[in-house]
Each structure stands twice: as structure tokens, then as C-alpha cells.
Amino acid sequence: MKRAVFPGSFDPVTVGHIDIIKRGLLLFDEIIIAIGVNAEKKYMFSLEDRKDHIEATFKDYKNIIVKTYSGLTVDFCKQQNAQFILRGLRNASDFAYEQAIAQTNTRLKEIETVFLVSNPCISNVSSSIVRDVIRNGGDYTAMVPRSVTL
């Protein structure tokens, strides 16, 4: 079984995340959406809300599991018997950042990272942009699944 971990903070989950996950299912038998916990980071949505949003979005998918974790992503991958990390790339800046992480992960635990390039129609969407739109009273509904509400 090919199992991948799709890690992130998902604060909130966006249409970009959903696109990468659904396309990832063409490559992997199972995807674990891994919500990372960082005690030093201030989130807009609680961990429970983020998990609920993702679970509601993928409630009809038997091959998608949602879990939370702290610590190194590669350690979580090994605990879950996942051979791959799935990541989405929106632009060249994402690639430069993700490449260094992927190379480090391979060195630490021999985990292979698979990159999928974002759909151009939604490559502008990021969680930080969505949070900014929410904070300023804008309409964010086209950038997130229905499960994300305030």
C-alpha cells in the first residue's frame, strides 16, 4: 500500500489543499492529512475546528485519514508507516523552500517527497491570504470548502 502524509497547519484548509489531496489520491492508496501542532504559533482556528473542517470535507473518502501531530514530520511518517510526503507547490518560492525540507527529510529518515503543482486557477490561494480576508471582513467562501465557517 502506498501511503502519503500531507502535512500542514490548515489554518484554514483551502481549495488549494483540497485540489492537491484529491489529485494525490491518483498516486497513493491512502493519504493521511496531518495537522501539525506548534505551541508557539497563534492560530485563527482551533485545532479541533481545523480537524473538524477537514473531516467534514472528506467525510465520503474512506482512503483519507485526518490526524494531528507534533514534532518532526518524518517521525510522524515513520509512526504511520507512510513512505511519502505529499506537498503542493504554488510558485518558485514554494519550490525553493520545500526542496530544502524534502532533502533534509530524505537524509533524516529516507522519506520521499512528492510535489504536485497547483492548479493555476487557484494558485493564488493560501491560508494566510484567507485569514487576511477574514480579518478584514471580505468574502472568503470561494477559497475554502463549505465546512469552514465562522
Give the pLDDT of the chain (150 residues) as one tens digit per residue.
999 999 999 999 999 999 999 999 999 999 999 999 987 889 999 999 999 999 999 999 999 999 999 999 999 999 999 999 999 999 999 999 999 999 999 999 989 999 999 999 999 999 999 999 999 999 999 999 999 976
Inside any domain, residue 148:
no
The active-site residue, picked from 3, 41, 59, 87, is: 41
Q: What pLDDT score does 40 carry? A: 83
> How would you class 45 by CB atoms within 10 Å of its CB: exposed for 0-12, middle for 13-18, buried for 19 or more?
buried
Residue 84 in any domain: the answer is yes
- Of the candidates 51, 53, 118, 127, the residue annotated as catalytic is 127
Active site (annotated) includes residue 41: yes
CATH code for the domain of 110? 3.40.50.620
Q: Which of 51, 53, 90, 118 is catalytic?
A: 90
Q: How many domains does the chain have?
A: 1
pTM of the model: 0.95
pLDDT score, position 144 = 97
- The per-residue pLDDT for 150 is 62
At residue 84, the pLDDT reads: 98
pLDDT of residue 24: 98
Query: Residue 77 is part of which domain span?
Result: 3-143
For residue 150, tell me if it sits in a domain. no
**Is the distance from CB of 51 to CB of 66 less than 8 angstroms?**
yes
Strands of the sheet with 30-36, listed across from one edge:
64-69, 30-36, 3-8, 84-89, 112-117
